[in-house]
Amino acid sequence: RPNRINSAVTNGTTSENMIFYRDVVDGLKADMKHLQSKYFYDAMGDRLFQRIMKSSAYYLFNCELEIFSKRTADLASLILQQDGPFDLIELGPGDCTKSGYLLEYLVKANADFTYFPIDISASIIRYIETELPQRIPGIKITSLEGEYDDMLTKAAALSAHRKVILFLGSNLGNMTPKQSLTFSRKIRSHLHTGDLILIGLDLKKDPRIVLAAYNDKEGITRQFNLNLLKRINRELKANFDLSKFEHYPTYDPATGACKSYLVSLEDQVVSLIAGDNLEMISFKKGEPVYMELSHKYTIDEINRMAQQAGFSIAGFFYDSKGWFVDAFWRA
């Protein structure tokens, strides 16, 4: 997902490519080798994630879809408790499958609002700009393409009304609890008293169910992880042999940390190139590369985070199994 602001070309290498290179090399040279999960989402990664969401093991998507499709009126009424126009800002909207229910309901209810989708992917923004007005005639859209932080600042500057933020899909779970708190505080700093945020988070539950969601039988999640090595091969002229790494998901039910790793199946050396830079990285047989955290919470932990970030709790919406929650926090 290119950051368009930094795309000057030097030496046949764009600066965004250099950032990717530095992040990858720094991660693979660290004592605990790691890669950043934000890099999963190239075109193939997007497609694989779509397939994960459709897989039966990955319950998160269906749970939240149930909340948005069956509790639409209740979600909307919490937003409409306050009078006057508002701006609905969504972080990482995807194709609006879930939020689309709420948006359609609000438009039909003649609510006076503008929808601000924020995404780093140009293709997602383009998709929303063309498809959403057809699906929901009359919707007002101001799309913002870029990193959450920068675009939130921009949205806050553009917005003259009260704000409602949507941050769905357990996306916050891809940060550590500490980073999540920092990010929640950051969001709070862009809001005024009374503004709302709706956060979708996956809950702690039977550890076997959680683990299975990241270890689907079809092997899509495995491909999703390995695809990042493929991307590194293509974009950083590396020579990862994908058959020499295996997907290894773990879940610790005590902390709620669901972590995935790629484990090196033998002693091996991989090279990477960006511009004039060449790096050789060695892997020991059995050595893990930490790929992603998908953190799971209890309601108490979610409430504590809300309070520590300066929010009060305005409401909870669970799916019928009680596996997933969309929590409304009020600034």
Binding site for ligand AVI (CB under 6 A): 52, 60, 169-171, 173-174, 214, 221, 224, 292, 294
Beta carbons of 125 and 119 less than 8 angstroms apart = yes
Burial class (CB in 10 A: 0-12, 13-18, 19+), 71: middle
Q: Which is nearer to ligand AVI, 66 or 292 (CB)?
A: 292
Total H helices, total E strands in the chain: 11, 14
Decide whether 240 or 324 has the Cβ nearer to ligand AVI. 324
Which residue, 63 or 274, is less far from ligand AVI as judged by CB?
63
Segments in 241-328 forming alpha helices (H): 299-308
Q: Is the dihedral of CA 209, 212, 217, 218 positive or negative?
A: positive
Beta carbon of residue 80, minimum distance to ligand AVI (angstroms, whole number): 28
If the CB atoms of residues 79 and 302 are measured against ligand AVI, the closer one turns out to be 302
Smallest gap from residue 247 Cβ to ligand AVI (A):
10
DSSP string, 87-100: EEEEES-TT-TTHH
- Smallest gap, in angstroms, from Cβ of residue 214 to ligand AVI? 5
- Residue 158 Cβ vs ligand AVI, minimum distance, rounded to whole Å: 26
Pick between residue 21 and residue 214 the one whose CB is nearest to ligand AVI: 214
Q: Which is nearer to ligand AVI, 87 or 292 (CB)?
A: 292
Cβ–Cβ under 8 Å, residues 171 and 307: no
Q: Nearest residue by C-beta to ligand AVI?
A: 294
Indicate the residue type of 109: A
User: Which residue's CB is nearer to ligand AVI, number 61 or number 317?
Assistant: 61
In the complex with ligand AVI, which residue's Cβ is closer, 212 or 265?
212
Burial class of 234 by CB neighbour count within 10 A (0 to 12, 13 to 18, 19+): exposed
Tell me how far, at minimum, the Cβ of 87 lies from ligand AVI, in Å.
24
Burial class (CB in 10 A: 0-12, 13-18, 19+), 254: exposed
- The least distance separating ligand AVI from the CB of residue 35, rounded to whole angstroms, comes to 13
Minimal distance in Å, beta carbon 174 to ligand AVI? 5
Helix residue ranges per DSSP H, 11-121: 15-29, 43-54, 59-70, 72-80, 99-108
195 within 8 A of 162, measured Cβ to Cβ: yes
Cβ contacts of 22 within 8 Å, gap of 6 or more: none
What six digits make up the tokens of 235?
């974009």
Smallest separation (angstroms) from ligand AVI to the CB of 213: 7
The residue type at 56? S
Q: How far is CA 214 from CA 67, 133, 220, 300, 321, in A?
A: 22, 34, 9, 24, 19
In the DSSP assignment, the letter for residue 224 is H
Min dist. Cβ of residue 234 to ligand AVI (A)? 21
Shorter beta-carbon distance to ligand AVI: residue 52 or 226: 52
DSSP three-state, residue 325: strand
